[in-house]
Structure 1
Amino acid sequence: MTLFKKPFYAQTYVKPLMLAISSGLLLAACSKPAPDSPDVAQPDPVVDNISIWPQLNLPVQQDPAIEQAITELMAGMTLPQKIAQMIQPEIRDITVEDMRQYGFGSYLNGGGAFPNDDKYASPADWIALAESMYQASVDASQDGSTIPTMWGTDAVHGHNNVIGATIFPHNIGLGAANNPALIEQIAKVTAREVMVTGIDWVFAPTVAVVRDDRWGRTYEGYSEHPQIVHDYAAAIVKGLQGVADGDFLGDDKVISTVKHFVGDGGTTGGIDQGNTEVTEQQLFDIHAQGYVGGLQAGAQSVMASFNSWNGSKIHGDQYLLTDVLKNRMGFDGFIVGDWNGHGQIPGCTNEDCPQAANAGLDIYMVPTAAWKPLYYNLIKQVEGGEISMARIDDAVRRILRVKMRAGLFDKPSPAKRALAGKTELIGADEHRAVARDAVRQSLVLLKNQNKLLPLNPQQRLLVTGAGADNIGQQAGGWTISWQGTGNTNADFPGGSSIYDGIARQVKAAGGSVELSADGSYQQKPDAAIVVFGEEPYAEGNGDIDNLEYQRGNKTDLALLKKLKADGIPVVSLFISGRPLWVNPELNASDAFVAVWLPGSEGEGVADVILTDADGAVQYDFHGKLSFSWPASPQQTAVNYGDADYQPLLSYGFGLRYGEDDVLAAVLSEQVEQSNQLTELVIFERAPRSPWQLQLQSGNANSSESVMVGSSIQQLGAISSRTFDKEVQEDARRFEFDGSASAALRFISPFPRDLRAYAEADSQLTVLVKRQGEVPSQVMLGMACGDDCGGAVNISAALTAMPEQQWQPLAVNLSCLQQQGMNLGQVFQVLSVQSSGKLTLSLADARISPVANQQHTVVACQ
């Protein structure tokens, strides 16, 4: 059966590429573009051409008995009960009593949200919350409803919010494996571990087809090629939900969500939540293939995307949500919004948005206190005729249809379900074995000079680099916390770092291994394994403006060169969520492996790069690039099929053992320099690398400090909490209770040289909002050591600000220098300290080389 009649995508994009891969043509670094690829000779935009979209034959057909049961149930529902089905709040913003009173159709935990606000909540804690919410939802004492609620979670590479769960490689690595059967197996494991905690629904798979690798969600995409995404979407939906004529939504299955509809990976400039400017044909051929695959596998939920399509926000686009997805493609499940995504529609706010419902959104994801006014506004808008009752009934019918198909009306409560409480399944050995195999299959060998790999484990090996013994870094974003930050190896019980795996195998084979953070060693090794790469990030926090690795701060390159200068062969293991320009690092390495973000089972890396004790290969390299590797930092949008396709390494490239290198012996390290100093971002949505947010409380002789690793955190006299200003958790509120001196500080473990900013007469600028009274002394400053730094009192400036309004404040770096700040050794780039009671919110902080006349400049004191 064909997916659709005479598919443009299949005829002009897939077949030439698959032929090229099978014939080995893509192993050359200068592959020619397919002559009819969709990125060549683009047609003029054609809007609302419904014939482009397929009429799908979906595997889950409507059951007359279920439809009749829905009709009878809805006949007795009040308007408030129906609206409650369309509201999805977040566990940090509702209580069990709220569930009992309102009877929400669903709820979620966002990244970094845990039962009882406890990062270390046990599986029993998760089950207890699921059970309490369920029982409240079926308690008719207040809302008159007995409709069971459902819990949604971001289990995007395993049950990644739960301590001890199996964490799989992120999607970019799985794409390199190009093995749909493996993906289905991973999804089955994920579903089991999710069901142990009583959760019904996961927000996966992400089926973005990434076109610009500057995007901070690149690693959530399987490939730049739609075919892999199409096939993987089908595989993961089957693994999560089961198959329509078999184990569909059984006891060990969860409801899946194909996301984010549509075009999230195609935004101009790779800007998260930006504008995807493509023709409708391209939107379908490139960006919609994951939905064709996922829906044809029976996906019951689709999540609307934050992005716009040619200027139209998807959350409010009736043509795409209703005419295309529901009517043309035949999707009869429900469409859920993304994190307050409805509030981004022109004319809408998080609290008030009839446009989204009218466009076809069925469930509003409203994870802040905005859920309550939104609920009441929707009721008023139906009563006033802004939203038709027919539209509400359609949304509620779709929600109830999925709940009935999932057996939520018939299954026991979460604590009594078949897998509930079977904690031995969380991180079970057989599950970790699947993840370890996925690691092996995902690795891509880019360089192997003189056939250095595989290494014999009977040698003397040095393992070094920041990522060597760091499971949190190798797991990446969406791991326990939303950004994947603030985690230690102790947060991954049962997991293994890359060093752990190497050390175990080397010691078992009779060799020796030394772990060193800085590349030092007791005795000269036979080879050095250097593990380095990107720090964890998620969503817009990972957006970058070019692809140069460690731009302006090449500490990892210095380590590689140091080892090379010592005459030690160097194997580089590069942790990253996207291909990056690493020509200098490639030149300084004898072998170079893209390990992507392998997750909790780091030992899978050792299985491939080490032989067994007898010198035999354990596992050959399997992975092939599912993203083209850039030839320059500015080559940010390089995709197979481009008119001028000249990457450093082509889509489909990946060496096997015994194959010769294709890279030049010495790659160009020249970078086009900009004559203009760019802004240094300190805080934008979250702390920007290398800066980390720290809370400090107490006097100089008895102070305590802690790194902020969760959305809600407190230490002594200061507390911190994320909230939404424009988008998800993009601002922080700090409360100083006045019981002791306290501070928030953005620090780096290594000093930064910011002298160029002083030479450009720059300013340290912050965007802040005050609430309530301001003490007489609030110090804003920078530090270069315990007794080195500068600060100014911003109390008067804060007092003069209108309360509860965002205002920019600035201090000239030259002022801080006058007070003794050494900008060549910046350890603490920004601090705010107060001994009095103060509530202050922060939305942005940066060093700007050009003075802004609209900022309030604090006078130098």
Structure 2
Amino acid sequence: MLTACGVGQPSLEVKKGLDIWPKIHSEVAQDPEIERQVSALLSKMTLEQKVAQMIQPEIRDITVEDMRRYGFGSYLNGGGAFPGNNKHASVKDWVDLAEAMYQASVDDTLDGIDIPTMWGTDAVHGHNNVIGATLFPHNIGLGAANNPKLIEQIAQATAKEVMATGIDWVFAPTVATVRDDRWGRTYEGYSEDPEIVKAYAAAIVHGLQGHAREDFLGDDRVISTVKHFLGDGGTVKGDDQGNNIDSEQALFDIHAQGYVGGLTAGAQSVMASFNSWQGEKIHGHQYLLTDVLKNKMGFDGFVVGDWNGHGQIPGCSNDNCPQAVNAGLDVYMVPTDAWKPLLENTIAQVRAGIIPMSRIDDAVSRILRVKFRAGLFDKPSPAKRPHANNTQLIGHEAHREIARQAVRESLVLLKNKQQLLPLAPNQHILIAGDAANNIGKQSGGWTITWQGTNNQNSDFPGGQSIYDGLARQITQAGGQVELSENGQFETKPDVAIVVFGEEPYAEGHGDRETLIYQHGNKRDLALLKSLKAQGIPVVSVFISGRPMWVNPELNASDAFVAAWLPGSQGEAVADVLLKNSEGKIQHDFTGRLSFSWPAHPSKPVNRFDQEYAPLLPYGFGLSYGMSSTLSDSLPEETGAALNTSDVYEVFNGKTQQPWQLRLFSGKQNLAVTASSMTLASLSYRTIDKEIQEDAFRLDWQGTKAGVQFVSGNGFREDLARYQAGGGVLSMTVKRGNTVADQAFVGMHCESEGDMPGSCRAQVDIGAELNKLEAQQWQVLSIDLQCFASQGVMFDQMVMPFELSATGSMSLSFSDISIKPAGDKQATIHCQD
């Protein structure tokens, strides 16, 4: 359907100050010959061919024949997408797909054009989608290393491994300046301060693309992308894809410095961000994309969207969004099967004058300019390029040594009581904690799978866990090592090294309400305290994607190391923690905090704040011989206690964000989009309680069916503090004259890749419904511990309420919420 989607409506008024923004002098100057070639090719292209250059589908949603038919300008593999949908796809499988797509793109028999396509991938800490690739520390650890030369080496090694699989283009570097560590993408940022970000952006771009006058986009190089433009690290409360309300001056001073560095170094693409600035989505923000980035800053490459980000613009959908291209987006990233109607709608909108032809020509010129600069018209096809199918490049030992250096330099020593570290390796050393021998956990998100979950150590050939490195060195030095995840041991050790931390996550799945580590479930703290109580010195190695409020864990540790997310070469941790066999230091701690360590779990703290009171400041880090300044009696009160007014609403007359109300019956599932709906034997309709349509009624007729509130954005929500605060699931209900044969309320945090049935719980409410007086509004509440005891993790909630019933029943709801401190008075409680 052709619509204007709100085109022409005024955007939110934002104070504009183009004088704030500089003119960038890119190292990659325009070449008159390339400009001539672009113009000549553009003049021969049909509208259909031009728009196809602007469409970027995903490998799970197109075929080689689709490429032959439409000639897409580019395509991508998202996190967790592999050739043939095979996680263990070989290097040859990757190259074969690249070759097939390339040959289809230059086959002009169907689409009449022979422009080479490009393959883009998220190689964000190495070629992280490919089994056996070198996985470098995530950016937060690299920021602590503060070594731009090393960063360039990492990027160059990554480019070579990418080239071995036939891929042309990398969606890196991320240059977000992170201002609230509750953001789930904090670990993708180098720092809370732009000084490191700016320098690193240039280094990464040079490493991926090469230098303009030396080896620019040669056989060892790939096209880079600075992302995400703009302000994603500064959203309110660290909400992924949320709203940045900074002033325009702060937007430049804090959030744009990575673009100054990256664009000066010659980055050829920029990815638009999911977030908004001052309430306006960046994907549709003409001022920032066109007036600032292209016109004032002079960027002459192309702007690519992020995963259906255009569909979030008000009035748009994934398959219909002229606002985005009119605002300055050049390439729609459009996974799923929305690519075809989007292509067709965009063509129709150009013909209708909704999108000016001049804007299409500008977008396609930018795409072609980059392709000519990258030599795609002259280079051999992917299978015939110099590094193609070179399996030895994947996880090459030289690359792994760079990774080991990065691990060593990224470690930050926060506490070292009585100079416990470095440890003599000829002792009896216990290695404990669930991250000690877990390469997937130490590597974090964006590791083989999107979320970094469901990986085993066998999925990392050539990689080593932290335990692997410790065990090898301790054994070689004549010491004894014992691995015990839960801290149990046969012989009392001289010292324990406990490796623990966050589970892997990516993007909004990592968003948190607070920075309290293991809020409501302090199992790792219990392990530390247990060892301490036995008189065993404890070295904590903390795996995390951000600084966290770990005061209790710091108090229970004699030494504490922030290891961040070190990647596949965890053995390098031992190089710093252990002395050599001669009793000498192998490598000192040189890492320094590029993020302030928080003194409070929910108050952002950043360098140069007017009131700057971190637990440990930006730039902090101990080296051997330096005095440890942290005491063993840091405050352990979280300061995050909930008031009775802190009610988390799921439904209060209307469904609250980010939840969506759905009906289900058997395997059928239906989103509620009208005031009256029916699915199989279940009927839904809105009713009036206090005001018009402020409640809803469900009517069952036999078979099992029900309703559920599910995550509307696919992300997990952090509700841990409600469980920790003695919370309840409360619902205001009115039942009819009969009660169902069976009725259960459920919650779960099951997400993509989890085992079926995991992190899911149900509570039988049938008996309590029977006790309620018919046709009267009453409150029924369930102690959250009833769900937690069955395995629900409240910091990863994806469905806070599900009601399933069998039989005949009528039940109405006016409120569904999670309330603090009500467990003792709950209708159904599970604690003494």
TM-score by structure 2 length?
0.81
Query: 1:478 is matched with which residue: 429, 443, 446?
Result: 446
Identical counterparts, % of pairs: 65
Following TM superposition, by how much is the alpha carbon of 1:346 offset from its aligned partner in structure 2, in angstroms?
Answer: 1.3
* AA partner of residue 569 (structure 2): E
Query: 1:318 is matched with which residue: 286, 290, 301?
Result: 286
* AA partner of residue 853 (structure 1): S
Query: 2:814 is matched with which residue: 833, 836, 853?
Result: 853
Question: In the alignment, what sits opposite 1:277?
Answer: 245
3-state SS of paired residue (1:826): coil
Question: In the alignment, what sits opposite 1:96?
Answer: 64
Following TM superposition, by how much is the alpha carbon of 1:846 offset from its aligned partner in structure 2, in angstroms?
Answer: 1.1
Alignment CA distance shift 1:509-1:753 (3 Å): farther
Instruction: Please list the CA deviations of residues 430-482 of structure 1 after superposition, one character each: whole Å capped at 9, or x if unmatched.
Output: 11000010000000000000000000100000000010101000000000010
Aligned mates of 1:112, 1:318 — CA distance in 2:
32
Question: In the alignment, what sits opposite 2:612?
Answer: 645
Query: 1:667 is matched with which residue: 630, 634, 640?
Result: 634
Check whether the contact 2:145–2:406 (CA below 8 A) recurs between aligned residues.
yes
Alignment CA distance shift 1:227-1:388 (3 Å): same
Check whether the contact 1:207–1:259 (CA below 8 A) recurs between aligned residues.
yes
* AA partner of residue 535 (structure 1): E
Following TM superposition, by how much is the alpha carbon of 1:259 offset from its aligned partner in structure 2, in angstroms?
Answer: 0.3
Aligned mates of 1:86, 1:366 — CA distance in 2:
10
**Number of residue pairs matched by the alignment:** 713
Gaps of 5+ in 1: 1-44, 688-694, 696-723, 732-745, 766-775, 794-810, 831-841
1:523 equivalent to 2:484? Answer no
Alignment CA distance shift 1:829-1:433 (3 Å): closer
Following TM superposition, by how much is the alpha carbon of 1:827 offset from its aligned partner in structure 2, in angstroms?
Answer: 3.5
Question: In the alignment, what sits opposite 2:133?
Answer: 165
3-state SS of paired residue (1:669): coil
Following TM superposition, by how much is the alpha carbon of 1:404 offset from its aligned partner in structure 2, in angstroms?
Answer: 0.5
Aligned mates of 2:254, 2:149 — CA distance in 1:
23
Alignment CA distance shift 1:760-1:70 (3 Å): closer
Question: In the alignment, what sits opposite 1:364?
Answer: 332
1:148 equivalent to 2:116? Answer yes
Query: 2:158 is matched with which residue: 172, 190, 201?
Result: 190
1:347 equivalent to 2:338? Answer no
Aligned mates of 1:448, 1:240 — CA distance in 2:
38
Aligned mates of 2:507, 2:264 — CA distance in 1:
28
1:506 equivalent to 2:506? Answer no
Check whether the contact 1:497–1:601 (CA below 8 A) recurs between aligned residues.
yes
* AA partner of residue 846 (structure 1): P
Question: In the alignment, what sits opposite 1:33?
Answer: none
Query: 1:234 is matched with which residue: 197, 202, 211?
Result: 202
Aligned mates of 1:371, 1:477 — CA distance in 2:
27
Alignment CA distance shift 1:130-1:854 (3 Å): farther
Instruction: Please list the CA deviations of residues 365-414 of structure 1 after superposition, one character each: whole Å capped at 9, or x if unmatched.
Output: 01111111110010011000011111100000000000000000011111
Query: 1:546 is matched with which residue: 490, 493, 514?
Result: 514
Aligned mates of 2:523, 2:115 — CA distance in 1:
57
Gaps of 5+ in 2: 1-12, 651-655, 660-666, 668-709, 734-740, 749-756, 767-778, 804-811, 818-827
Following TM superposition, by how much is the alpha carbon of 1:675 offset from its aligned partner in structure 2, in angstroms?
Answer: 3.4
Aligned mates of 2:577, 2:456 — CA distance in 1:
25
* AA partner of residue 192 (structure 2): E
3-state SS of paired residue (1:593): strand
Check whether the contact 1:679–1:848 (CA below 8 A) recurs between aligned residues.
no
Following TM superposition, by how much is the alpha carbon of 1:634 offset from its aligned partner in structure 2, in angstroms?
Answer: 2.2
Check whether the contact 1:464–1:515 (CA below 8 A) recurs between aligned residues.
yes
Question: In the alignment, what sits opposite 1:119?
Answer: 87
Question: In the alignment, what sits opposite 2:422?
Answer: 454
3-state SS of paired residue (1:607): helix
* AA partner of residue 451 (structure 2): Q
Following TM superposition, by how much is the alpha carbon of 1:678 offset from its aligned partner in structure 2, in angstroms?
Answer: 6.5
Instruction: Please list the CA deviations of residues 663-704 of structure 1 after superposition, one character each: whole Å capped at 9, or x if unmatched.
Output: 2342111122213477699xx9999xxxxxxx9xxxxxxxxx
* Further displaced range: 578-587 or 672-681: 672-681
Following TM superposition, by how much is the alpha carbon of 1:825 offset from its aligned partner in structure 2, in angstroms?
Answer: 3.1
Aligned mates of 1:194, 1:283 — CA distance in 2:
33
Following TM superposition, by how much is the alpha carbon of 1:764 offset from its aligned partner in structure 2, in angstroms?
Answer: 13
Aligned mates of 2:658, 2:434 — CA distance in 1:
21
Following TM superposition, by how much is the alpha carbon of 1:593 offset from its aligned partner in structure 2, in angstroms?
Answer: 0.3
Check whether the contact 1:679–1:847 (CA below 8 A) recurs between aligned residues.
no
Question: In the alignment, what sits opposite 1:24?
Answer: none
Instruction: Please list the CA deviations of residues 614-664 of structure 1 after superposition, one character each: whole Å capped at 9, or x if unmatched.
Output: 1100000010000000012122x1001000001000000000000001223
Instruction: Please list the CA deviations of residues 62-117 of structure 1 after superposition, one character each: whole Å capped at 9, or x if unmatched.
Output: 11111111111111110000000000001111111111111100000011111111
Aligned mates of 1:419, 1:390 — CA distance in 2:
39
Question: In the alignment, what sits opposite 2:689?
Answer: none
Question: In the alignment, what sits opposite 1:742?
Answer: none
Question: In the alignment, what sits opposite 1:692?
Answer: none
Question: In the alignment, what sits opposite 1:260?
Answer: 228
3-state SS of paired residue (2:336): coil
Aligned mates of 2:413, 2:225 — CA distance in 1:
33
Alignment CA distance shift 1:75-1:507 (3 Å): same
Following TM superposition, by how much is the alpha carbon of 1:792 offset from its aligned partner in structure 2, in angstroms?
Answer: 8.2
* AA partner of residue 601 (structure 2): P
Question: In the alignment, what sits opposite 1:80?
Answer: 48
CA RMSD, 1 decimal: 3.3
* AA partner of residue 845 (structure 1): M
Aligned mates of 2:122, 2:790 — CA distance in 1:
37
Alignment CA distance shift 1:725-1:390 (3 Å): farther
Question: In the alignment, what sits opposite 2:540?
Answer: 572
Alignment CA distance shift 1:663-1:608 (3 Å): same
Following TM superposition, by how much is the alpha carbon of 1:762 offset from its aligned partner in structure 2, in angstroms?
Answer: 3.5
3-state SS of paired residue (2:344): helix
Following TM superposition, by how much is the alpha carbon of 1:214 offset from its aligned partner in structure 2, in angstroms?
Answer: 0.5
3-state SS of paired residue (2:814): coil
Alignment CA distance shift 1:843-1:622 (3 Å): closer
Alignment CA distance shift 1:573-1:828 (3 Å): closer
